[in-house]
Amino acid sequence: MFAEHAREWSVVDSLTQKFVLAKKYQKEVFDLVEKYAVINDEFFQRIAAVLLLSHFLNDEYIDQSIAILENLYHHGYYTKMAVAWAFTSIMSKYPKKCLVVLEEQHLDPWIHNKAISKMIDSFQIDDEIKQYLKTLKR
């Protein structure tokens, strides 16, 4: 794939979000996500996170996607932002599952707080949930 050449967040996001083969070859692409998720590289991990949020936040893969995202951590800003962005998307589609992650504090504190901040800014999340999210900041 393009990972060896994608060293900029905009390239990663553009290519992974429009990776149309992900729908047709879900298992193969998910296998690729799992491989990239364990590579200690900021952009490989961002690819994994953006592929998950773009193509695998569905009933079949949501639990596996959350598990990968919870363990996806690189000190680099672009990985951390992608994970926060992914959890914001999860909150809009699977709020109960996302709240468990936040309540049990499974995420790195910076990612946790950034995700909550992005959720509060989102127009797709109910105001009642936003008020509760404010109590979960660390």
| Dist CA 67 CA 70 (whole Å) | 5
1 within domain boundaries: no
| Domain housing 19 | 9-135
Residue 88 predicted with pLDDT over 70: yes
Q: At residue 82, what is the residue type? A: A
Chain-centre distance of CA 97, in angstroms? 13
- 10-14, 75-79, 85-89: which range is least confident on average? 10-14
Question: Residue 14: its pLDDT value, please?
Answer: 62
16 within domain boundaries: yes
102 within domain boundaries: yes
123 within domain boundaries: yes
| Dist CA 86 CA 124 (whole Å) | 14
Question: How many domains does the structure of the chain reveal?
Answer: 1
Span 4-15, average pLDDT: 63
2 within domain boundaries: no
What's the CATH number where 25 sits? 1.25.10.90
4 within domain boundaries: no
pLDDT band at 13 (very low <50, low <70, confident <90, very high): low
In tens, the pLDDT along 99-134 reads: 999 999 999 999 999 999 999 999 999 999 999 999
